[in-house]
Amino acid sequence: MSELWITLNDIPEEGKDLVFDDQSFWTETMKDCNVDAEIAAPLITEVFILPQDNGCLVRGKTSGAIKLVCDRCTADYKQNISTEFEEFEQVADAEDTEPSPVVKTKEGLKFELGALLWEHFVLALPIKPLCSNGCQGLCDKCGADLNKDGCACKKEEGDPRLAVFRNLKIKN
Ligand SMILES: [Zn+2]
Ligand SMILES: [Zn+2]
């Protein structure tokens, strides 16, 4: 995946606001991670970085929109993305099993922001993508898009809420 390295020595003690608007970070990472989506409105990340001993505090948000495929009607739709995050990251110590995004180099501490942006982007994705909460989906018999014209088979099925009564056996 794409990486975004920040040299913490370049950030003043009182912190600094940064904006990341390079869309290739998102398009390349989506490709690498097999996320099948296109950008519908630029994904912009604004972060505030505050250097700390051995690491930094990072607070920010990513917003924009991507094109997803609706799980019910299979149409493309625009999914707004908006995610906020706040993390404290520091150089891994001997006990840490996970690698840290903050590493010590000859030029001082460097922080890799890309993985964190991606992690929060993925968390902001819907578990079940829907073009709208009320999407009617496709007819399971003829495949017609029920958001548009509906179809003939719908009438035959009747009101699904009444199906339970149709199966009742009447005792004589
Ligand atoms: Zn839909
Ligand atoms: Zn139908």
Interval 23-28 mean pLDDT: 96
Domain boundaries, the chain: 5-124, 140-172
Give percent of the chain with pLDDT exceeding 70.
89
Distance 157 CA to ligand 2 centre (A): 10
Please tell me the number of the ligand nearest to residue 143's CA.
2
Distance 68 CA to ligand 1 centre (A): 10
Higher-pLDDT residue of 36 and 49 is 49
Q: In sequence order, what are the residues at sequence separation of 6 or more whose Cβ sits closer than 8 angstroms to the Cβ of residue 57?
A: 15, 49, 50, 86, 87, 88
Sign of CA dihedral 125, 126, 130, 132: negative
Please tell me the number of the ligand nearest to residue 153's CA.
2
Distance 161 CA to ligand 2 centre (A): 18
Please tell me the number of the ligand nearest to residue 76's CA.
1
Query: What is the per-residue pLDDT for 154?
Result: 57
Q: In sequence order, what are the residues at sequence separation of 6 or more whose Cβ sits closer than 8 angstroms to the Cβ of residue 62?
A: 43, 44, 45, 81, 82, 83, 117, 120, 121, 124
pLDDT at 169 over 70: no
* pLDDT tens figures, 84-121: 999 999 998 878 888 899 999 998 999 999 999 999 99
Distance 130 CA to ligand 1 centre (A): 5
Amino acid at 21: D
pLDDT at 134 over 90: yes
Please tell me the number of the ligand nearest to residue 72's CA.
1
Query: What is the per-residue pLDDT for 159?
Result: 63
